[in-house]
Amino acid sequence: MGIGYATAYRAGIIPWEKAGREDQPTLEHLLDREEDDRPDGLKRAIDLGCGRGANTKLLVDRGWDAIGVDNVRQAVDVAVRRNGLEDARFVIGDVRHLVHSGVGSGFDLFLDVGCFQSLDDAGRTLMAGSVTELAEPDATVLIRTGGRRAWPMRRPREVVSRDIERAYRGWSVTAVTGIASTDKAAPTRAPGGGRGEWFRLTRT
């Protein structure tokens, strides 16, 4: 995982950042919902596979006590420089082994924009187990898949949905955008940002 992404960052081949920018209005809608569900105030959030930190900064700007984690040092170094956040906001670590990465525990929100599908089956299971161990009882996970042409793996959206359900045992998985959505309050997708789907996970 790390070698492929490190090479891509060095070469400037980062299509996932464009997809994330195009779909940011959808993410903002979903964060609005998370914040509305927490009338006592925002709490701890973690940006899984944060890359160059755009979504970590978004969370901090919205009032979350947020931290980003990624195993590509080059990306994390850029995240610190470009976002004006403290070094402590970012950790160089493996999302498959969060418990031992130094991110802490007791998270209320996990944000995963394209990270899950970049892992193999074993990696997904490890990451889901780490998330479960670090999550508060009422925590939620927001996962954005990249659609059929996701880099570096291309998987049909229905397969990605089953992958999530298989990895995240003990969580309820709801598609909140796309053709699989069962959420009547799903936000309208931004033009150009609708190739992937968003899923919301809650503890069962």
Residue 96: what residue type?
A: R
- Residues 185 and 187: their CA atoms lie apart, in Å, by 6
Give burial (CB, 10 Å; 0-12/13-18/19+) of 182.
Answer: exposed
179 falls in which pLDDT band (50, 70, 90)? low
- Residues 123 and 129: their CA atoms lie apart, in Å, by 10
Q: Residue 49's closest CA among 154, 142, 165, 174?
A: 142
Tokens (6 digits) for 118: 């970049």
pLDDT of residue 177: 82
- The tens digit of pLDDT for each residue in 128-171 reads 999 999 999 999 999 998 754 444 455 555 667 889 999 999 99
Q: Which residue range forms the structural domain that includes residue 147? A: 2-203
Q: Count CA atoms within 13 Å of residue 121 on its CB side.
A: 4
2, 76, 151 from 5: Cα distances, Å: 5, 12, 10
Count up the domains in the chain and report the number.
1
- What number of residues does the chain have? 204
Residue 66: what residue type?
A: A
**Span 74-99, mean pLDDT?**
88
Q: Residue 154's closest CA among 118, 116, 191?
A: 118
111 falls in which pLDDT band (50, 70, 90)? very high
Q: Residue 172's closest CA among 145, 144, 138, 196?
A: 138
pLDDT of residue 199: 94
Count of Cβ atoms closer than 10 Å to residue 24 Cβ: 16
The domain that holds 111 is classified in CATH as 3.40.50.150
13 falls in which pLDDT band (50, 70, 90)? low
Tokens (6 digits) for 60: 């901090």
pTM of the entire predicted model: 0.84
Q: Residue 29's closest CA among 62, 52, 54, 56?
A: 62
**Span 95-114, mean pLDDT?**
93
- The tens digit of pLDDT for each residue in 45-58 reads 999 999 889 999 99
Q: What is the DSSP string of 54-80?
A: HHHHHHHHTT-EEEEEES-HHHHHHHH
